[in-house]
Each structure stands twice: as structure tokens, then as C-alpha cells.
Chains A and B, each alone.
Chain A
């Protein structure tokens, strides 16, 4: 991973502008998106919304697509040009790993690696192998591997073609829970160690809040919304805020550890939020998820409560949910957005209105990534 900073600078300038139109049977993909050239962008939507098709368009695997695709200053597709997939500097991880069954793991890894000029290789076989923890699998045939192992090999194989853009098509969808848990940390480490912009297809809100910085929300082949993850998670006009596991994700820095009570304080939007102790250094950037159902609202900073995280907020929106007993409250905490699911009765009793200053009591926060 030499030229790490160089790669970062390069990546930061390579914004992706894509507009595609593809008609097939009774489905039409019609999108126009802008994706930042760094971090992780999730293509999110239910099955049949066109996420995978959009990803395949980006890779050049859908030949009958019309549209434009510009990566930084390179034109990959226009009305007159179509760059074939093998000329695009991408890595693609398929939902079902798609390893070459007749080659062992080592030869699978070398397939893309050997096709890259020596000067353009940004990652060595050893680095990819240790990054994905597949040292012991090198001589195995794909048929001997578990689903999680196959997917780790597939990710390493994609990384070894030194991509400038990593495309992942629900890499966890075909895996059981424990295999998912096995892969997620590797995805985090790719993101931090290699700083390759990643486009990640998913229909799981849990995965998206964990991994993505940016999000494109697809519905029936069209873009419903696109923007920063927390912006979309907390938009009350989008379905995400109305899910049972509706949440906000906020970033902050680790401020201090309290060894006596086994707590870590994270500094978020000028406030300190306590959480179970995290084994990370002070100053580390972390992201936490706050579920809407774990947030309650008080008019006064309640001193005699078991809840230790009480944050002063302003109500920016109140909206109904499909559960008539509940209302969704959107809160502004120094330009960070939070959500609270509370009962309609409490909202009336407290006389909640837009613009009111209140105190959000946060029962628990979950560490997402650091």
C-alpha cells in the first residue's frame, strides 16, 4: 500500500457521474446519480429496485444500456463510446462469489493480479491475503470453501486487480449470520487501509448504517433520494425513518475512558455520549448508531433517571407513522440529526411542537465502525 496518500488524493478527485437508461421486459432503470469519489456509497432498495442492474451498468456488464458514465475526467460511457468492462479499472465482487471453480485459491487471486502492469499494482498478493485472512486457504479449490471463505477470496481477488473503484453486489446476502459477522470487519479494514471508493449494493439497513457514508435510495428503477447516510436515514418523507429499526448514525471522537465504570465518552456535536468501554485510543474517529426507539424526550434535563445520555435538542419535525400510537420526532443536535419514536399520547401530554427545545434521553448507542 505504497502511495497511500497519493491514492487518497487521486480518489478524492474522481467523482462519479452516471446517468443510465435500460429497458428490459417489464422493468426500466432510469437513473441520474452523482457519487463521491471516496468513502462507501450504498445503493439501497428492495429487491427488484434495480440496484444490481445499476451496479452492472457501472461495470459495463450491461451492453444494451444507454447513458453516460464519467469517472473523474475519464469517460467510460457516452452516446458514442462504450468502454468494455475489461478496460475499466474496477474490482467487482459478485453476490455468489463467482470464483473460477477449476482453479485453486492462489490461481484465482493471481488471475486479475497477473493482468495488471507491475508499476500499476497497488497491493501485493501477501497484503491482500493477510487483509482478508485467507493464508491457510491458498491451495484449496473453491468447492472446498465455506460461503464466507469464498466471499473473502472473491474480495481479495477483486482487490488484487488494483481497482480505482470497488463494486460490491450484496457480498453478504448469500451468507448466514456468522459468516456475515466474519466478513464485515474485513470490509471496514479495506475501506480504511486502501481508501478505494466503494459502491455497495444492499437491501439491509443494518449493513448500510454500518458501512456506508453516502447512499442512493432506489425504488422501481428510479432514484428516490441520494445524499449522506444520516441525512437519508432521518428524512421523514423516506421509508427508512419509518422502519422499526429506524435510526440515526452520527460520528464523533473518543474523548475519554472511564475505567471505574467501564465507560467510554464519545464527543459528538459538542456533547459527550457515554457507551460501554471501547478498546480504542482517545481521539479515534468513531461512528455510532442511535435507534429511534431508544430515544425518549423530556422537557427538563431529568436528573433522577437511569439514563445517563441526555442531550439538548430542538424539534425540527413531527410526523405520523404507520403505527397510529406512535409519532416520529426529528431532532436537531448542533446540526446532527436524530430520530425518536415516542407514543402519540406522550407527544400530546408534553405538548411537543416544531421548534421546541427539549432533552433527548438516549438509552443506548451502538458502535458501528471506527
Chain B
């Protein structure tokens, strides 16, 4: 049976891109202040928070999805709260997916930014303080520009990792077209229904996307290292 490309449902692609963009944006807003706080915290606190936020890296997505379902569901603590606020439950909804994705991709945002902040020389900031820069001023005029490569890496990894998310989404979001049916779920759906042509197009697209993202990441990192070396 010949396949007409115009009949391909592109909605999951847009949904995935929307989910990944919003997730990345929220992650950067959360992680940048947290990482900055952690880079000035005691080793014990730092290890505790880092270990906790790195859990999603190790746990099977199903475990993560299971607990989130319990939390966000009708009888879960967050579910009850959202119901009392008149928001309904977040399970099987797009906002629920965003929350799950933020947690799932958290370590991918935290690690690069944390590393970038940790490598900033404390003396650099002391010099800035003696040049009349307030703590906030130092953060925006020095910390952010110096940590820029780490922040870009964090953003790219979070975005790509959210696009590639499957298990957690299946657990918490299900398969509602336009709401929770993202790219990876759509591929699963096509395969289940033996629509291999559609599955091929979407899967091939994912492979190319993943490769291009990783290539750009490594290329940009190598290039910026070379620039730094050239300046030396």
C-alpha cells in the first residue's frame, strides 16, 4: 500500500516541540538559581541535592511515571490540591506532561550548569566586588557570560532529552491526541497498528534530529575550546 506523506499526522511533532521548549524554559529558570546556590553550599548539602535531582537518570521511567501518577492523580496530594483549586487533575494532561518532563530532564540541565558554575574562580568574583559590583551585578556581568557554554549545553540536552522521552509520558500522559500524544508515543502507536511507513518517517526524523543536535553540541564545544586555546 503506497503511503501518501500528506496524510501523516504532524500534530505529535508540534506537540513534542512545544513540550520540549516549555520544559527547557522552565528548567533553566529553576536550575540556574539552584545551581548557583549549590555552588556556594556545603559539600553535604550539595551532595544531597545533587544525588536527589540525579535520580531520574538512574530510575526506570516507569518508576518515575508511577510515582508521579500517584502524586498527580485524583487521590494524590498534588492531585487533591489542583482539584481544590478548581484545576482538575494534572494526570493525562499537557501541564502534567510538563511537570513530568521537568523532573525527568532535571539532571540533564543541572549537571552542565553546576559544572560551569563550580569552575568559576572565586577570586574573579572577589575582584569584581572590589570594583563596585554588587552580588546580583556580578552574577549577570560575570557568572552568566562565563557559564554560557554550560548553559547552552544544558538547554540543548534538556530539549533533546524531552523530545526523546517515552516511558514517563506513557505512564502519566497516556495517548490523547493534541494533549499528550507526543512524537515518541505516536511512533509507538503507528508500530502497534502496523503503520510502518509512518513509523519510519517519524523514527528516521528522530535519528537525524538527535544526531544533528549532538553533532552541533560537540562541534560548538570543541570550537569554543579552540578559541580559548588560541587566546592563550
Contacts and interface: CB of A to CB of B under 8 A. Distances in A.
A and B assemble together: yes
Given A86-B134, A102-B145, A116-B132, A61 B127 contact: no
A91 B130 CA distance: 6
A96 B130 CA distance: 15
Contacts of A86: 128-135, 137
B231 A92 contact: no
B103 interface: no
B124 interface: yes
Interface residues of A, number: 29
Majority secondary structure, B binding face: helix
Contacts of B123: 94, 96, 98
B131 A161 contact: yes
B129 A100 contact: no
Nearest to A89: B132
Contacts of A242: none
Contact of A85 (B130, B142, B232): B130
A161 B132 contact: yes
Interface in A75-109: 84-88, 90-92, 94, 96, 98-102
B151 to A, nearest CB: 14
A167 B126 CA distance: 13
Given A141-B231, A144-B231, A111 B130 contact: no
A341 to B, nearest CB: 42
A162 to B, nearest CB: 9
Given A86-B134, A102-B145, A157-B131, A61 B231 contact: no
B133 A115 contact: yes
Contacts of A101: 124
A59 interface: yes
B137 to A, nearest CB: 8
B130 A59 contact: yes
B146 interface: yes
B127 A98 contact: yes
A158 interface: yes
Given A143-B231, A143-B232, A144-B231, A98 B133 contact: no
Contacts of A94: 123, 126-127
Interface of A: 59-61, 84-88, 90-92, 94, 96, 98-102, 111-112, 115-116, 141, 143-144, 157-158, 161, 167
19 contacts: A60-B129, A61-B126, A84-B129, A84-B134, A85-B129, A86-B133, A86-B134, A86-B135, A91-B130, A99-B127, A100-B124, A100-B128, A101-B124, A102-B145, A112-B132, A115-B132, A143-B231, A144-B232, A161-B130
List the 5 shortest-distance A-B pairs measured between CB atoms, nearest first: A112-B131, A92-B130, A115-B132, A85-B129, A98-B127
